[in-house]
A and B are shown apart, each in its own frame.
Chain A
Amino acid sequence: MTTTIDARGLSCPQPVILTLDAIKNGKDKELVVLVDTDTSKENVMRAAASQGYRVEAVAPEADGYRIAIAKD
């Protein structure tokens, strides 16, 4: 199962904190993060990369972006 993190509308650095928490706590190798700004998108992608995750897909949505990250 893929965990989805809804970080839309949250100020810096909460999207990154939520993403890192999910990476640390979760057993899932795949995560989906929803964000509403380009800044959050870049920050989450940078944080994911720092944890050895790769960005599978970034899909623009009506109210932001859907970022899928995964680790082998």
Chain B
Amino acid sequence: MQGKNILATRWGIIGVGAVIGVLAAVLQKLGNPGNMGICVACFERDIAGALGLHRAAVVQYMRPEIIGFVLGSMIAAYIFKEFRPRVGSAPIVRFVLGAFAMIGALVFLGCPWRAVLRLAGGDGNAILGLLGLTFGIWIGTLFLKNGYTLGRTQATHTTVGWMLPLIMLGFLALTLVFPQVVGQDQSGVLLYSAKGPGAMHAPLLVALIVGLGIGFLAQRSRFCTMGAIRDTVLFGQTHLLSGFISLLVFAFLTNLLLGQFKPGFSDQPVAHTMHIWNFAGMALAGLAFALAGGCPGRQLFLSGEGDGDAAVFVLGMIVGAGFAHNFGLASSPAGVGPHGIAAVVVGFLMCLFIGFSMRRKVA
């Protein structure tokens, strides 16, 4: 199917941002945690918990939205003949970037998607997060201007592109075989949360369908929250930014309609008020996303269209979530974890090392 891709136009991406904003607020109404209708980092962290990669009892749930994002993107990629299996652009570096992106995001308590959803729900702390995100991405653009590159991918077997989608299908199968039992923290091999954010979720089928729909639309529109800020800073190009802002505006309006808008800094859901670390955590995440070429959502959508390196980034994030909770790096509503600050410093050093050392020879 060739021809014009309407969703990749300015109005297309604004429309997709609007759909995501509305659906995120609705998912919260249907049971997802506060200001967390959709959060790619938090949901992958919950998946790590469901698999027992960490044992933080309050954040364990196999989030169907994430499964839907990958599979929805894959369906779109196949329908529009854009499925191109490719791999080989420094996958181990992408794994490390994914892990530190997750660690930074969990110091703030959210990915860029949740940062705008928190703002749309009235959480002022999100402003610090978004400023930090912009700062981290700005550092990334300096590297990009100086020839930073992870190298080229190569075309590969279809099987490679199928790996993450198959893993996601496996996760879905586990959820169906071992469904949640009310009040219990385990069902077969899967862990569940009896209380806390992990216990709050929209019905499985609704979450899965919304995830599939968003995955489909985002693949077509190339929706990317990191790219939104990066392209604005780097090129003065506001194409992706218009989608990101549309998400904010429509989530805000939907929150107002549903009575979910509660302005303030303190007592916000799944948030803390340590401004410096909200800023710094998200700055680390932003830098890692910029160096990896996409926000956490975009990495899922790229995985769906056959990008094996993006899939490695996703796995890096899930494993990073395991470290974040096992090592006490993740924040809680009480503030940063015991070793969260050290992890942010280490993460920055690693990202700077990668940024400075991986450059193409500028002619």
List residues of A whose CB falls within 8 A of some B CB: 8-14, 16-17, 20, 36-39, 42-43, 46-47, 50, 63
Contacts and interface: CB of A to CB of B under 8 A. Distances in A.
Interface bin, chain B: 20 to 34
B222 A39 contact: yes
B152 A12 contact: no
Interface in B124-155: 144-145, 149-155
Interface stretch (B159-167, B197-205, B233-241, B277-285): B233-241
Given A9-B86, A39-B222, A16 B153 contact: no
| A interface majority secondary structure | helix
B185 interface: no
10 contacts: A9-B151, A10-B89, A11-B293, A13-B234, A14-B149, A20-B235, A36-B84, A36-B155, A37-B84, A38-B82
B293 A16 contact: no
Contacts, number: 59
B94 to A, nearest CB: 9
Contacts of B294: 11-12
A32 to B, nearest CB: 17
Given A11-B309, A12-B294, A14-B149, 20 more contacts: A9-B154, A10-B89, A11-B89, A11-B149, A11-B292, A11-B293, A12-B224, A12-B293, A13-B234, A16-B235, A17-B144, A17-B145, A36-B153, A36-B155, A37-B305, A38-B80, A39-B222, A42-B8, A47-B235, A47-B237
| B interface majority secondary structure | loop
A37 B155 CA distance: 11
B82 A12 contact: no
B230 interface: yes
Nearest to A7: B152
Nearest to B224: A12
A13 B82 contact: no
Interface string B207-234: 0000000000000001010010011001
B5 interface: yes
A52 to B, nearest CB: 14
A46 B237 contact: yes
Interface string B223-261: 010010011001101010000000000000000000000
Contacts of B150: 11
